[in-house]
Amino acid sequence: MANSGLQMLGFILAFVGWVGLIISTAMPQWKINAYAGENIVTAQAIYQGLWMNCVTQSTGQMQCKAFDTLLSLPSILQATRALMVASILLGLIAFSISLIGMKCMKCMEDDQVQKMRMAIIGGIFFLVAGFAALVGTSWYGNEVARQFFDIYTPVNTRFEFGPALFIGWAAAALTILGGGFLCCSCPRRETTYPPSRPYPKCAPSSGKDYV
């Protein structure tokens, strides 16, 4: 029998990670402008995300503008978009499959072997979704760091990591961890031994000694 506690823990972690991926993808704070120069201007903060650019004033007012065209966007942004959307879709498939394979669900309870396989397949999909998100966020973060340390980048146009990027890293880690737990909840095969042969019954002693 599969370890119900490990299976439930893996499902919860993977589900929380998947929700975090959705939040990270929708957030506009993937990178925020860095005030690294001598002239520090704190009247506004500029954010850039996968879908829009936003400016927050010191009064708290926030204005956002979505990207008008797709073809003019940098290739790194398009690739990150594709990886994050793919991870969300894979997570949705993994959630549906894993939910069927959970031991606490009555679906397919007549076939425990097939039910166990569904949970493992869902865990594999969660692993793929987590790795896709991890590649996307790490690739984007590496590009932000490269541009920040580039000497040819103007000081007033340098950006650093935003909150959405950290949420994406944490969500990808939780999704991978949860998917791994789901895959590890597979029961181990029990070692089978050949049936022991019964000992022959001893004939009852007649009480007579034979010469």
Domain with residue 168: its CATH number is: 1.20.140.150
Model confidence band, residue 116 (pLDDT cutoffs 50, 70, 90) = confident
Domain-located, residue 204: no
Provide CB contacts within 8 A for 130, sequence distance 6+: 14, 17, 87, 172, 173, 174, 175, 176, 179
Q: What is the pLDDT of residue 194?
A: 47
H helices of 60-101, in order, are 75-101
Mean pLDDT for the stretch of residues 18-25: 96
Q: What is the pLDDT of residue 149?
A: 87
Residue with tokens 């022959």: 200
* Residue of higher predicted confidence among 200 and 96: 96
Domain-located, residue 177: yes
Domain-located, residue 65: no
Domain-located, residue 99: yes
| pTM attached to this predicted model | 0.80
The CA distances from residue 131 to 108, 124, 159, 162, 172, in Å, are: 29, 11, 25, 20, 7
Domain-located, residue 47: no
pLDDT tens digits, 55-76:
887 777 888 888 877 777 888 9
Q: What's the total number of domains in the chain?
A: 1
d(CA 45, CA 33): 7
* DSSP designation for 206: -
Domain-located, residue 48: no
* Domain around 140: 4-28+75-184
Q: What is the pLDDT of residue 186?
A: 61
Domain-located, residue 116: yes
* Amino acid identity, position 89: L
Provide CB contacts within 8 A for 20, sequence distance 6+: 167, 168, 170, 171, 174, 175
Domain-located, residue 203: no
d(CA 119, CA 112): 11
* Residue of higher predicted confidence among 195 and 103: 103
Question: Beta partners for 57?
Answer: 44
Q: What is the pLDDT of residue 35?
A: 65
